[in-house]
Chain A
Amino acid sequence: MRKDRCTRGKGTASAVPNGDAFGWRSALALRFPALKELRGFSRKAFSCALLSVAILTFLAADSSPARVNNLGHRMMCVCGCNQILLECNHVGCSYSDRMREELVAAVDRGDNDDMTLQWFVQKYGTTVIAAPTNQGFNRVAWIIPYLVLALGIVMTAVIVRAWRSKPLLAHPAAVQPATGPDLDRFRAQAQRETDL
Chain B
Amino acid sequence: MSQIGSFALLLALALAAYSFLGGLFALWQKGPVSERVGETARRAGIATFAVIFLAALVLVTCAFLNDFSIAYIYHHSNRDLPAPYKFATLWSGQEGSLLFWSLLLSAYGFVLRLRYKTDPRLFAYASVVIAAVQIFFLLLLNFAAHPFALMQGSLPDDGTGLNPLLQYPEMVIHPPMLYLGYVGFTIPFAFALGALAMRYPGEKWIHITRRWTMVTWGFLTCGIFLGMHWAYSVLGWGGYWGWDPVENASLMPWLTGTAFLHSVMMQEKRGMLKTWNMWLIFSTFMLSIFGTMLTRSGLVSSVHAFAQSSIGDWFVAFLGIIFVVCLVLYLLNHKHLRSEHKLESLVSRESSFLFNNLLLLVACFTVLWGTLFPKISEWVQGTKVTVGAPFFNRVNIPVALLLLLLTAIGPLLAWRRTSLESLRRNFMFPLIGALIVGSILVAFGMKPWQDQSYFYSLMTIMLAVMVALTVISEFVRGGRVIGRHTGQNIFASMWQLARRNTRRYGGYIVHFGVVVIVIGFAGSAFNQDAEKEMSFGDKLTIGPYTLVCETYTEDDNANYGSQWAVMQVYKRGAKIATMTPERRFYKASQQTSTMVANRSTLAEDLYVVYEGQNQDTGRPIIKVYLNPLVMWIWIGVWIILAGTILAMIPNEQAQAVAARVAAPARLAQAEPVGAGD
Contacts and interface: CB of A to CB of B under 8 A. Distances in A.
Given A19-B527, A26-B390, A130-B388, A87 B485 contact: no
Interface residues of A, number: 77
B453 A20 contact: yes
Interface stretch (A35-43, A108-116, A171-179, A181-189): A171-179
A21 B525 contact: yes
Given A18-B529, A60-B451, A3 B616 contact: yes
Nearest to B340: A171
Contacts of B377: 132, 137-138, 141
Interface stretch (B363-371, B425-433, B468-476): B363-371
Nearest to B522: A22
A145 B528 contact: no
Contacts of B594: 89
Most buried by B among A2, A16, A26, A133: A2
A153 B406 CA distance: 14
Given A2-B615, A22-B397, A172-B336, A126 B384 contact: yes
Most buried by B among A16, A81, A87: A87
B384 A14 contact: no
A92 interface: yes
A152 B362 contact: yes
A114 B266 CA distance: 51
Most buried by A among B236, B237, B388, B612: B388
Contacts of B335: 172
Nearest to A157: B346
A107 B188 CA distance: 55
Contacts of A74: 390
Interface string B425-456: 00000000000000000000000011111111
A17 B625 CA distance: 10
A67 interface: no
Given A2-B621, A91-B612, A164-B344, A126 B393 contact: no
Contacts of B385: 126-127, 129, 132-133, 138, 141
Interface in A43-85: 52, 55-56, 58-60, 73-74, 76, 80-84
Interface in A117-135: 125-133
Contacts of B454: 19
A160 B343 contact: yes
B174 interface: no
B391 interface: yes
B490 to A, nearest CB: 18
A169 interface: yes
Given A131-B387, A132-B391, A156-B354, A7 B530 contact: yes
B163 to A, nearest CB: 14
B572 interface: no
Nearest to A164: B343
A15 B611 contact: no
A24 B384 contact: no
A130 B450 contact: no
A interface, by DSSP: helix, strand, loop or mixed?
Answer: loop
Given A56-B451, A91-B592, A21 B395 contact: no
A181 B675 CA distance: 28
Contacts of A137: 377, 380-381
B312 interface: no
B531 A7 contact: yes
A130 B390 contact: yes
A158 B594 CA distance: 53
B369 A132 contact: no
Contacts of B542: 13, 15
A69 B611 CA distance: 19
B354 A160 contact: yes
Nearest to A90: B592
Nearest to A130: B388
A157 B390 CA distance: 31
A156 B656 CA distance: 40
A156 B355 contact: yes
Contact of A87 (B237, B343, B449): B237
Contacts of B346: 160
A125 B385 CA distance: 9
B614 interface: yes
B393 A13 contact: no
A146 B397 CA distance: 12
Contacts of A160: 343, 346, 351, 354
Contacts of A174: 340
A138 B374 CA distance: 10
A160 to B, nearest CB: 6
B329 to A, nearest CB: 16
A105 interface: no
A172 B673 CA distance: 10
B237 A127 contact: no
Given A15-B541, A18-B527, A160-B354, A55 B450 contact: yes
Contacts of B389: 22-23, 84, 130-131
A135 to B, nearest CB: 11
A144 B369 contact: yes
Contacts of B424: none
B339 interface: yes
Contact of B358 (A5, A88, A156): A156
Contact of B301 (A8, A14, A82): A82
Contacts of B611: 2, 89, 91
Contacts of A92: 612, 615
A141 B616 contact: no
A19 B453 contact: yes
Interface string B194-230: 0000000110000000000000000000000000000
Given A19-B525, A22-B393, A89 B452 contact: no
A34 interface: no
A25 B397 CA distance: 13
A168 B612 CA distance: 69
Nearest to A166: B342
Contacts of A5: 531, 621
A58 B452 CA distance: 11
A190 interface: no
Interface of B: 201-202, 235-239, 242, 244, 271, 301-303, 335-336, 338-346, 351, 354-355, 358, 361-362, 365-366, 369-370, 373, 377, 380-381, 383-391, 393-395, 397, 399, 449-456, 485, 524-533, 540-543, 583, 592, 594, 609, 611-616, 621, 623, 625-626, 673-675, 677
13 contacts: A19-B525, A23-B393, A28-B451, A76-B386, A90-B592, A125-B384, A131-B386, A131-B394, A132-B385, A137-B380, A160-B343, A170-B338, A173-B202
Given A24-B394, A56-B449, A130-B389, 13 more contacts: A1-B615, A3-B614, A13-B530, A15-B528, A24-B455, A82-B244, A82-B303, A126-B385, A126-B386, A145-B362, A156-B354, A160-B351, A163-B343
Interface of A: 1-3, 5, 7-8, 12-28, 52, 55-56, 58-60, 73-74, 76, 80-84, 87-92, 125-133, 136-138, 141-142, 144-146, 148-149, 152-153, 156, 159-160, 163-164, 168-174, 196
Which 9 residue pairs of A and B lie closest in terms of their CB atoms, listed nearest first?
Answer: A91-B612, A23-B390, A130-B388, A24-B453, A131-B391, A13-B532, A173-B675, A21-B524, A22-B393
